[in-house]
Chains A and B, each alone.
Chain A
Amino acid sequence: MNIKRFLYGLAGLALLIGMWGIYDRFVNGHANTNYGSYVVWGLWVAMYLFFAGVAAGSFMISTLDFLFRIPVFKGTGRIALWTALVTLAAGLTSIGLDLGHMERIWKVFLQGNPSSVMFQMVWGYTIFGVLMLACLFLAIRNPEGRLLRILMGIGLALSLFVSGAVGALLGVQAARPFWHVGLFPVQFPFFSFASGAAVMLSVLAFLGPKDDPNRKQQLWILGILSVVMVLVKLYFMWADYSVSVYGNVPQNVAAVREVLFGPYWWAFWILQLLIGTFIPLVVLLQKRLVEKTLLIGWMGVFLLVGYAVARGLIIFPALTIPEIESLATAFGGPHLTFDYFPSSVEWAVTIGTVGMATLGVLLGGEILPLYRQDRKKGKA
């Protein structure tokens, strides 16, 4: 079966499932979600962090073409920019639905609190989104122009800032020892770059022009980049977890236990480590396998699954540990529990946003000249 057709089918189905979730969200509000007043951020926030990371990372990858002018990546910039825009839209959908009053989002712009990291993130991503649109416009109209290069330079700095802000959003919270890590704002731009490399690995492997002479080299380089980033990520995780456990701060140790041996063990060991890390690591290190573009594309998907799960495993465990131990049983009621597993509505919306992003990438390739390239310059 043609991979494009398969992806269209899958994305369409996902979008349909998502429509049901979004319908339920609008009709019943937050009633059918499983996040609550204790585990206050759930799957939608985790997916927002994931998509925002993919967007910033895709932009970083697009700078390889339009800012650093690396010949082998010639012609990949536009689709990377488009992927960044589409995934940012998916992320904003996810977080928009998570808000109690999404109709008041304008208040962040007109009546905001600049000292709030969330304010800085909202502004940062808005400017980033507008800048990406401008870059894409210029990349289609005048890819060799100086203005594009300047904007790409600003965009690169902005992508580092917005990724770092995601880390800071969590890192500034002294109330949550598991998040209160000074290096989070440093780690998150790495996570974003890793996500960007993974998504481009999939996009180029599945949808990239087959007659592009640089394609295999692009996939090989992105694969090696992904391997390096996965190892960096593993190191960060090891550092966070080992320091937490060694330091023996009860809330930290409890959070690490939740991930390794608690209710999320399967997500960590199977999805994040086996599927999201180990298998891609083995496949991508073998140069002969770069010929098998479909396999490489799926490795990109596997990596993305691992990164998405990693976002969840940063968010949930910090919240499933009570701030005060006996709070868990102090008062009963709906949404007052420290256990969390996403509800069917949450899953449906998440599947829908993934479908939306996939469909966006596919349709963008059909409508916009995202893969068209100048052969002469590409070879130069």
Chain B
Amino acid sequence: MKKRTTESLSRRDFLKFSGAAVSFLGSLELAPEKTLAAIKTTIERRPLEFEVSPEDDQIMRMQSDLQRALAKPVEERRWVMVIDLRKCLGCHACTIACVVENKLPPGVVYRPVMIEELGTYPNVAMRFLPRPCMQCDEPPCVPVCPVNATYKDENGVVVIDYDQCIGCRYCVTACPYGARTFDFGALYTDETAEFEGIIFGKPSASAYERSASYEYGEARQRNDGDSSPIGNVRKCHFCLHRLKEGMLPACTTTCIGRATYFGDANDQDSLVADLIASPNVMRLKEELGTQPRVYYLT
């Protein structure tokens, strides 16, 4: 008898939950922007009011470093990323976090993790090398742009003005790291079958996929046609829109191995300043004189 009651309660709970879920998804499909805006307003950003010691979690320390950096004038900050290759698990969580954060379409990737096989059997190893944009201080992609659509902004981050870019892709050829991809206008739901009346089908996914991305702090709907960023070159921008809100880049907070660090290298007390002073630090293709802002610990 008792078992029977539990079962009936569970069913009721399930129905309640389903109803809530359906109405939530329905609202997403109908007006995803409004829903997201509503969610955003309910989240209050509170300043960090706690002491962070070196023993604390690195994310907490970086968050504290970030607050300090944001309090400084922008020209005094030097955003850098440090990636500890010995800690990277090759889980690709950073890649996916970046795809979700920036709502990247198929074929566009900002932070792939490259997998390298080293040695000869039986002495073999795998190395995982995440590759965001290097945000070079001497970026070869910038001077080649015929319309000044890509440039280093006041944060020292190499950005792209989507409304200025003509899509010639000269910058892609100039980047020695392959850090730029072109938006061909694809959607994940392009080849998806459509089933009438199924809430989890193509219409819901498609609505989500077409809802605005907030890169560079601008809401850009992914409509049909060729409106930007379709037809543009795209790249990692250290999640500038998150930094502006006091949040670390998505790849950094998502890294389960705590292999990715981010912060202001001009702040001598920051974690990244500590790390890049290590003797085992290196940068990719330094010989090209690009002065990358992404450091690797090996």
* Interface contact B231-A30, CB-CB below 8 Å: yes
Report the interface size for chain B: residues with CB under 8 A from the other chain. Answer: 48
Return the contact of A36 from the options B168, B173, B182, B185 (Cβ within 8 A): B182
Chain A residues lying within 8 Å of B175, measured Cβ to Cβ, are 175, 323
Interface centre among A29, A101, A174 (most CB of B within 10 A): A101
B15 at the interface (CB under 8 A from A): no
Question: Which residues of B sit under 8 angstroms from A176, Cβ to Cβ?
Answer: 173
Q: Given the complex, which residues of B lie within 8 Å of A100, measured CB to CB?
A: 165-169, 182-183, 226, 230-233
Q: Which one, A41, A113, A174, contacts B147 given CB within 8 A?
A: A113
Nearest CB on A from B71, distance (A): 34
Hey, which chain A residues are within 8 Å of B167, CB to CB? Answer: 99-102
Interface flag for A119 (CB, 8 Å): yes
Query: A2 near B: Cβ within 8 Å?
Result: no
Partner of B148, one of A33, A111, A174, A319: A111
Determine how close the nearest CB of chain B comes to the CB of A332; give it in whole angstroms: 9
Checking B109, B148, B178, B184 against A31 with a beta-carbon cut-off of 8 angstroms, the contacting residue is B184
Assuming A30-B185, A330-B112, is B170 touching A118 (CB within 8 A)? yes
Q: Can you name the residue of chain B whose Cβ is closest to the Cβ of A26?
A: B226
B96 to chain A minimum Cβ distance, whole angstroms, is 10
A330 contacts B115, CB within 8 Å? yes
Residues 126-164 of A at the B interface (beta carbon under 8 Å): none
Specify the main secondary structure of chain A where it touches its partner.
loop
- CB distance A40 to B173 under 8 Å? yes
Q: Which residues of A contact B232 (CB under 8 A)?
A: 100-101
Whether a CB of chain B sits under 8 angstroms from the CB of A380 is no
**Interface residues in A, total, Cβ within 8 A:** 47
CB-defined contacts of B230 to chain A, threshold 8 Å:
29, 100
Of A30, A37, A100, A116, most buried by chain B (CB within 10 Å of CB) is A100
Are B226 and A101 touching (Cβ within 8 A)? yes
Closest B residue to A95 by CB, please name it: B168
Complex-state Cα separation, A115 to B170, whole angstroms: 13
How near does chain A come to B141, taking the closest CB pair, in angstroms?
9
Which listed residue (A107, A122, A172, A326) contacts B115, Cβ 8 A?
A326
Q: CB within 8 A of B107: which of A29, A323, A333?
A: A333
A326 touches B181 (CB 8 A): no
- B231 neighbours in A (Cβ, 8 Å): 29-30, 99-101
Please give, as numbers and ranges, the residues of chain B lying within 8 Å of A243 by CB-CB distance.
none
Contact of B173 among A99, A112, A319, A336 (CB under 8 A): A319
Chain B window 104-131, contacts with chain A (Cβ cutoff 8 Å), 1 for yes, 0 for no = 0011110011111000000000000101
Q: Which of A111, A112, A319, A324 contacts B284 (CB 8 A)?
A: A324
**Pick the contact of B174 from A104, A112, A173 — CB < 8 Å?**
A173
Q: In the complex, what's the smallest C-beta–C-beta distance from B91 to chain A, in angstroms?
A: 14
A335 touches B107 (CB 8 A): yes
Are A37 and B181 in contact (CB-based, < 8 A)? yes
When distances are taken between beta carbons in the complex, the residues of chain A under 8 Å from B183 are 100
**Proximity string of chain A (305-339) to chain B, C-beta cutoff 8 Å, 1 when within and 0 when not:** 00000000000000100111111011101111000
Give, as a whole number of angstroms, the nearest-CB distance from A372 to chain B. 41
Q: Are B169 and A334 in contact (CB under 8 A)?
A: no
Cα–Cα, bound, A173→B166 (Å): 20
Interface residue? B36 (CB, 8 A): no
Report how far A176 CA is from B171 CA in the complex, Å: 12
Q: Give 27 pairs: A residue, B residue, CB < 8 Å, sorted on A.
A: A30-B182, A30-B184, A31-B184, A37-B107, A37-B180, A38-B178, A40-B172, A40-B173, A100-B183, A100-B232, A102-B167, A108-B146, A108-B147, A111-B148, A115-B143, A172-B144, A175-B288, A324-B129, A324-B178, A324-B284, A326-B114, A326-B115, A327-B178, A330-B113, A333-B106, A333-B109, A336-B107
Which A residues form the contact surface with B (CB < 8 A)? 29-31, 33, 36-38, 40-41, 98-102, 104-105, 107-108, 111-113, 115-119, 122, 169, 172-176, 319, 322-327, 329-331, 333-336
